[in-house]
Chain A
Amino acid sequence: MKTVEEIQAAILAAFPAAEVAIELNSSPSAQHSLRLGHAHAVAIATFLRDDAALQFDYCSNVTGVDWLDREVSEKVKVKKIVDGAEQEVEETVKRTVPGYLEAVYHLFSTVHRTGPLVIRMKTANRVDQVAMPSLVPVWRSCEFQEREVFDLYGIQFTGHPDLRRLLMWDEFKDHPMRRDYVEPDDYEYEPTPHDHVQARADAHKTAAEKGAA
């Protein structure tokens, strides 16, 4: 079986201009993945499917990931004047890394009996630029799974033949698997509340008691 590095090299040999990066997985599974740029994604996917040495003919799974904005603190050496003399001082600088949405595809080759090859794509941000190319033209089995990702994470797959919600109803506005999803506040009756359910049920209690008083 080819390693991720070899597959990356094969892709770069076929498409010299393509963006293909390796995302290392440091866990014991060591399931490294390839991050594809949007521009060549469909061409690369077709190549992965059709190349005689690879033949990833089966897309078993598509899933989404929501990465929130996060703060990173870095230590930076800054030259400052301390007690009249110039000195190098370490300062912690906080920087916000913008969040994004990600789709993860798991590919198998039924011919070579290899897999999974994990490929990923990410959107520009998680608010308004949430489009990425659909891989349904390459693997038909992505159709419902991309619809599910669209439904639950809100990723717009351009080129998808029928991008509608799959699980929730069409009038539904939210994307429930996003980390900032706020569920409807129907905690007015909780017979055995505990932890965060208790907190939300108590909020109802006080509101009702205030209304009665």
Chain B
Amino acid sequence: MAVDENLKIELGKQGVFVTTIQELYNWGRKNSVWPMQFGLACCAIEMIATTMARYDLARFGAEVFRPSPRQADLMIISGTVTKKMAPQVVRLYNQMAEPRYVIAMGACAISGGPFKQGYNVLKGIDRYIPVDVHIPGCPPRPEALIQAFMTLQKKIDQHHLTGEGRPRYLDAEAQGEFPVPEFGAHDLEPARNKGVWVLPEEIR
């Protein structure tokens, strides 16, 4: 299906533009990712800085922070996810329309960070919802968030519209709703979504 790159350049020189529906589709999608206006802790301040004039996330087509999950494409988990907040984060993610993406921003969102061995902080939001890009840092610099955003754009650009490797929102069979954890007597129940978070195998 893919058009030969050199041929495309040659044709471009002659004033002929060749593309595929897939390229057009991904190009449009990756350049209008609207994040949700949603901040959890100090990383949110860096996220706000990223959208402002100095770093200007608008250059990447993501200047419109939507205050409703129904209108947003990207959830930036910017900060510490406490166990009390985790069900609300999953619920908000469920309320977003497909296609939807998640960036886990900062040490807390990816692993619990400095609060990892505490009693009240989730050890990473990827225990409940699928995360596209993880960025470490405490908090990450705006450049790191932009890097994560560009990584996400590259990821969107490589999506196939059909076939086995197609993204979840193009697969009618795929699971779209993620179970919201319940408040238990000692911890959230369940402590992780086994369909989303698989224990990594350790190399010994």
Residue ranges of A at the interface with B (Cβ–Cβ < 8 Å): 167-174, 176, 181, 183-184, 186, 188-189, 191, 197
CB nearest to A186 among chain B residues:
B191
Cβ distance A125 to chain B, nearest Cβ, rounded Å: 23
B185 touches A171 (CB 8 A): yes
* Residues on B with beta carbons closer than 8 Å to the beta carbon of A169: 83-84, 183
The 7 nearest A-B residue pairs measured at CB: A184-B187, A169-B183, A173-B185, A176-B119, A171-B183, A183-B119, A186-B191
CB nearest to B182 among chain A residues:
A171
A171–B182 alpha-carbon span in the complex (Å) = 10
| Besides the known contacts A184-B187, A184-B191, 15 further A-B residue pairs in the complex with CB atoms under 8 A apart | A169-B84, A170-B183, A171-B183, A171-B185, A172-B183, A172-B185, A174-B119, A174-B185, A174-B186, A184-B119, A186-B123, A186-B187, A186-B192, A188-B199, A189-B200
Cβ distance B186 to chain A, nearest Cβ, rounded Å: 5
A170–B120 alpha-carbon span in the complex (Å) = 13
A181 touches B184 (CB 8 A): no
Enumerate 15 A-B pairs (CB-CB under 8 Å) in ascending A order. Answer: A168-B120, A169-B83, A169-B183, A170-B183, A171-B185, A172-B185, A173-B185, A173-B186, A174-B119, A181-B119, A184-B119, A184-B191, A186-B123, A188-B199, A189-B200
Residue ranges of B at the interface with A (Cβ–Cβ < 8 Å): 83-84, 117, 119-120, 123, 183-187, 191-192, 199-200
A171 touches B119 (CB 8 A): no
For chain A, what secondary structure do more than half of its interface residues adopt (helix, strand, loop), or is it mixed? loop
**Known contacts being A176-B120, A189-B199, A189-B200, is A171 close to B184, with CB within 8 Å?**
yes
Cβ distance B167 to chain A, nearest Cβ, rounded Å: 26
Cβ distance B191 to chain A, nearest Cβ, rounded Å: 5
* Residues on B with beta carbons closer than 8 Å to the beta carbon of A173: 185-186
A186–B183 alpha-carbon span in the complex (Å) = 16
A33–B83 alpha-carbon span in the complex (Å) = 37
* Residues on A with beta carbons closer than 8 Å to the beta carbon of B199: 188-189
Cβ distance B194 to chain A, nearest Cβ, rounded Å: 11
CB nearest to B82 among chain A residues:
A167
* Residues on A with beta carbons closer than 8 Å to the beta carbon of B120: 167-168, 176
* Residues on B with beta carbons closer than 8 Å to the beta carbon of A174: 119, 185-186
A183–B199 alpha-carbon span in the complex (Å) = 20
A7–B199 alpha-carbon span in the complex (Å) = 61
